[in-house]
Chain A
Amino acid sequence: MRGIILARFTSFIRNPWLFALFTGMSIIFALIIGNFGAGNEKVTVPVYGDEALQTDTIGTALAENEVYNFKWMKKEELEETIRRGNAEAGVSIEEDGYEMIVGIESPNVQLIEQTVAAIYTDKIQAANLLAVSDAQTEAEKEELLAAFQHAKEEPVFEITNQSFHSSETFLFDNGLHSLFGFTLFFVIYTICYNVLPILIEKKAGVWDRMILSPMKKWEMYIANLIYSFFEGYLQVVIIFTVFRFIVGMDFQGKFPAILLIMIPYVFAIVSLAIFLTALVKNTQQFNAALPIVSVSMAMIGGAFWPIEIVQSEFLLALSKINPLTYGMEALNGLVIYNTPLDQLLMPISILLLMGVIFMGVGIHLMERRHV
């Protein structure tokens, strides 16, 4: 068993290019699509409306927004910007309402709208508060609003949301999301190309040689699977380490927890890989099936865009048997929703369960089909 792991490892050291490619792709894609290069530059959203509104509560709230850079301009200017594709959407601001001007439908448009809507809600809440209160002087009013603001930031009752899919509160961080997505996506390739040699070696007769030797069949499987796990996990660790210590993301202090949570994910993918390998007849079929499987998994599992965007009941049902869905859910839960590790037991145990099932069925099929 040690011999097999050592042989695989030696081959890897001499030929690390595929591994390097997939690791590099994950990092580069996450950097580009996650907009890391642009530093903390905010997305610019053109807005127009009465000049008076610019200094009003609405205007101040827009200016203070941390995610978007709302830029006031003339109506024609705004339309021109959107038409040229320099902005995905703009907002027309009025005293007691707003209107979205949409250029390209994208997840950002929904987010912009949510941001603006939240500002109006705040304004109405504040106005209602003042109306029902007996505050008379400006000072009193200001005190009341300050208290309201404080209460919003540090609520007495914390309402935690158990479901990650609640659309009202869905948070989206482009940088983190693409990092998670591409990491979970590309590691599928690394792992699958590490499980594939089982099929190749079986066909070539390497396994026949081992079967005739005193080595046990289970040792042969375990050694290959442990090795595949190792290489997949190594890739994940490298990627997150790069983003933690070179790009400088702090992951809200969840770096160790992320690495921990990736263990069941990588395990599930190793099992999926052996299942896939058992289903194909040869390397060509494998090469054809892998991108189809991995890209579909990424699309319905929420690696490329938030799963909240997926609407079809059928696809949502399919996403429930997709390990990537649970990997994303666990990572998002951990870092974006700040869920404590013990509350992520659900996705973690589903991943472990999937791992066991896929592996059992995969090895069984493999033994039956490829004599």
Chain B
Amino acid sequence: MLELIDVSKKFKQNAAVKSMNMFIEKGEIVGLLGPNGAGKSTAISILSSLVEPTSGDVKYQQKSIIKNPVALRKIIGIVPQEIALYEDLTAEENMKFFGRIYRLKGEKLNMKVQEVLEQIGLSDRRKDMVKTFSGGMKRRLNIGVAMLHDPEILVMDEPTVGIDPQSRHYILQTVKRLNQERQMTVLYTSHYMEEVEFLCDRIYIMDKGSLIASGTKDEIKRILASENTISVKADYWNDAFIEKLKANPVIHQMNVEEKEITFVVSREVNIFTKLAKLAEETNVSLNAVDVKNVTLEDVFLHLTGRALRD
């Protein structure tokens, strides 16, 4: 129902987004994953009609929103990357302020505010000023404020940055619940793999302004289908074992730790018998050999040669 068509955005000489294509269907949770500076915020600002693209088009229900964004603006709610609240107002006052700018008033506004405060778990702190809140509570309120006008699409820009694990868990659960109970469509931006993996049906991976992969979780992981990540465990290693492993041409991206060695190897290779033989030759007693599940982190590493968060 909402799509980016060949969208690019340049800030002076700096291309923040390069011919990007993307779509979101009703009821989905779509993830947009990428390291800092990848262009995620720019992409979703274009998608929410806040920034005009340098070229390309944005369509909501087949109609371009670049010149006429009114229809989209009515049904979209955004959760900015920063805390976009009045620090000197209470949680409730903030809610009412942002409710009123959507022309809610009176009893209807009050009820909506109470309802959302409950959803984000801040009812008991509603009379407290935002500046007394923890990072997690501010983040929750930041999300709550975006839901007052019952948006059909919620666009969230890294909503869990810099908060404690409980708050993070709470937010992820809330998003999932909103999607399941109210069929709210969600575009979730993050640089945390786990979050996107947990929440999203479909995922876009972005790096340096371009999409480098997209599809369902399984589709993306199948990019690595031809390779396995192997984990080998033992109480200790000796140099001969490590040297010989390194010298083997089918093994790459090897990483040696005290009691675990991981590496990537093509699927066709039968690595188990090789490992057993090598261990015997060098007198290393192996505790375990596992094939690791492919994670999005691995995909990112595979596609860009870099870890997602460095």
Residues of chain A having any CB pair with chain B under 8 Å: 3, 7, 10-11, 14-15, 201, 203-206, 208-215, 371
Contacts and interface: CB of A to CB of B under 8 A. Distances in A.
A203 B89 CA distance: 19
A208 B83 contact: no
26 contacts: A3-B101, A7-B89, A10-B89, A11-B86, A11-B87, A14-B88, A15-B88, A204-B82, A204-B83, A204-B85, A205-B80, A205-B84, A206-B86, A208-B45, A208-B78, A208-B80, A211-B50, A212-B48, A212-B49, A212-B73, A212-B76, A212-B77, A213-B73, A213-B98, A213-B149, A214-B101
Interface in B242-267: none
B145 interface: yes
Chain B interface: which size bin? 20 to 34
Given A10-B88, A214-B102, A215-B101, A209 B93 contact: no
B84 A11 contact: no
Of A11, A208, A210, A211, the most chain B CB neighbours within 10 A belong to A208
B157 to A, nearest CB: 8
Which 10 A-B pairs rank lowest in CB-CB distance, beginning with the nearest? Answer: A205-B80, A205-B84, A11-B88, A213-B101, A204-B82, A206-B84, A204-B84, A212-B73, A3-B100, A14-B88
B88 A209 contact: no
Contacts of B73: 212-213
A213 B102 contact: yes
B231 interface: no
B103 interface: yes
A329 B82 CA distance: 45
A210 to B, nearest CB: 6
Interface in B1-58: 45, 48-51
B82 A203 contact: yes
A209 B80 contact: yes
Contacts of A212: 48-50, 73, 76-78
A14 B149 CA distance: 28
A184 B276 CA distance: 85
B84 A208 contact: yes
A53 B219 CA distance: 109
Contacts of A3: 97, 100-101
